[in-house]
Chain A
Amino acid sequence: MADILCGYTADRDETLIAFLYGDIEPAQRAAFEAHIATCDRCRHEVAELQDVRERLQEWTLDEEEAPEAARPLVAIGSLAGSSRVPAPSVESHEPPRRRRSTLLADLPLWAQLAAATLVLGVSSGIAGLEVHYDGSGLTVRTGWSRPASPPIPPAASPAGSAVAATNPDAASPWKADFDALERRMKTELRAELHASSSAASAVPARTEGSTVADAALLRKVRALVDESERRQRNELALRIAEIVQEFDTKRGTDLANVRSMKTIQSATGVEIVRQQQWLDLLTKASMQR
């Protein structure tokens, strides 16, 4: 079709696009309609480009993808609050991944701490982390080291199901432990805060006190995570040692089996030789007769 001559004198391509999208002056539209009534090339091209436009509408994005895109920023105003940072030039940017950490660094300490606590809670829930903090000290145990408990039967007693329904802690025992730990840590931190504020009463320490409390809480959370990691490393080392021991035992058994097979083979060989000798003697005796 492209080789058919078109006698349209105005800006053909631009007019064609304007006509295609319906964004065209009425007079220009009328002129172009009159033109395509007689021009096969333009009529054909309009139809083809319209077809391309319809094809373009087939490229849809999944609706559920979009909400995730900027969801962390929905609360950007709330998080940043009044501490709005100076506006940089729109034209100059750092790479996005680096910026994301900058955004995190811009958050106040309590927000970072809340995020860390949330991550810790979710991670421990997934990993089956069990945390006890009582008079006997801190105990951190992973799901790997805990004996498998039988699943709760689906037909539990009505009272039990009512408890589970009304008390989500019953369905996730780690949460209760975690809450207990959190309460205890808060109590201790309040005590520490009270002690520090009374010791330095001359200092207007509302901000400093909360900073100290935040730092102390952060240290404790980090200590918890470190303790959990140390426990898991120990368990891994123990498991590896067990595997090595099992391997050595199995290897010893296999070696013993191989030795006994050699003995059997040796005994069989001796027996064959003896049989052959008897056969030779019988052959010689029969030939002499």
Chain B
Amino acid sequence: MTWTDEELVARAIGGDSDSFDELVRRWERAIYALAYRQIGREEDARDVCQETFLHAYRALGGFRGQAKFSSWLYRIALNLCRDWMRRQRRTPVIQMPEDLEGMERAALREPVESIEDRIARADLARHVERAMALLPEEQRTAIVLKEYQGLTFQEIADLVGCPLSTVKTRLYQGLTVLRRQLAREGASAAAR
């Protein structure tokens, strides 16, 4: 039988520790992806991911079910990301392994496509990652939640605590900045 998130929360509050483990298994990827795309460092994203579930576990008794469990979890993760960025006092850092360049990174992937395609894909992903890192935090958050976490406009508005129109405006501004930035990177890459 598959329990819903809210049912698992209720069981975990009742003392069933396996239920909370199931919630972690269910949401760890999404939370890690959110944290990584927000702060751009693997190690710190892992820390934030762990902290998110730790906070959730500690505050589980206070979860009233007014919002979805995932929204509650996202809010904790976003708060932790924001704290991390405040502590760092800088924009996200794009972390690339020092010893791995495009070809090597691409070669590490499963051999389901040609090496040229893999290199090109890794290169494009790096461009996107860099461009995203340059966005203001609000715009980046809106894009990450919409594009990668698949939330609705209303869910994003509830999560970040702003009007619906503001979410759309941030998305518009963010996508517009990305368009320019990617065009610039494409032009400089073509020049190389």
Contact = CB atoms under 8 A, between A and B. Distances in A.
Interface of A: 11, 13-14, 16-18, 20-21, 23, 48-49, 51-53, 55-62, 65-78, 80-82, 84-88, 90-91, 93, 95-97, 99-100, 103
Contacts of B153: 18, 21, 23
A71 B36 CA distance: 16
B54 A59 contact: no
A51 B46 CA distance: 31
Nearest to B13: A84
Contacts of B54: 73, 76, 99, 103
Given A58-B128, A59-B129, A96-B48, A67 B18 contact: no
Contact of B53 (A51, A66, A73): A73
Contacts, number: 161
17 contacts: A14-B168, A14-B169, A18-B153, A23-B153, A51-B179, A55-B127, A56-B147, A58-B121, A58-B124, A59-B128, A59-B129, A80-B57, A82-B15, A86-B58, A87-B59, A87-B62, A93-B83
A71 to B, nearest CB: 7
Given A49-B179, A53-B147, A70 B33 contact: no
Interface of B: 12, 15-21, 24-25, 28-29, 31-33, 35-37, 42, 44-55, 57-62, 75-76, 79-80, 83-84, 87, 109, 121, 124-125, 127-129, 132, 143, 146-148, 152-153, 165, 168-169, 171-172, 175-176, 178-179, 182
Contacts of B165: 11, 14
A52 B179 contact: yes
A93 to B, nearest CB: 6
A228 B50 CA distance: 34
B25 A77 contact: no
A82 B57 CA distance: 12
Given A14-B165, A17-B168, A82-B15, A76 B53 contact: yes
A166 B25 CA distance: 33
A96 B59 contact: no
Contacts of B60: 87
B46 A56 contact: no
Contacts of B152: 23
A95 B87 contact: yes
Given A70-B49, A77-B21, A90 B79 contact: yes
B182 A88 contact: no
A69 B49 contact: yes
A72 B24 CA distance: 10
B53 A70 contact: yes
Given A69-B46, A74-B21, A17 B55 contact: no
Nearest to A69: B32
Contacts of A49: 175-176, 179
Contacts of A23: 152-153
A153 B21 CA distance: 45
Contacts of A18: 153, 168
A77 B146 contact: no
Given A13-B172, A97-B47, A78 B18 contact: yes
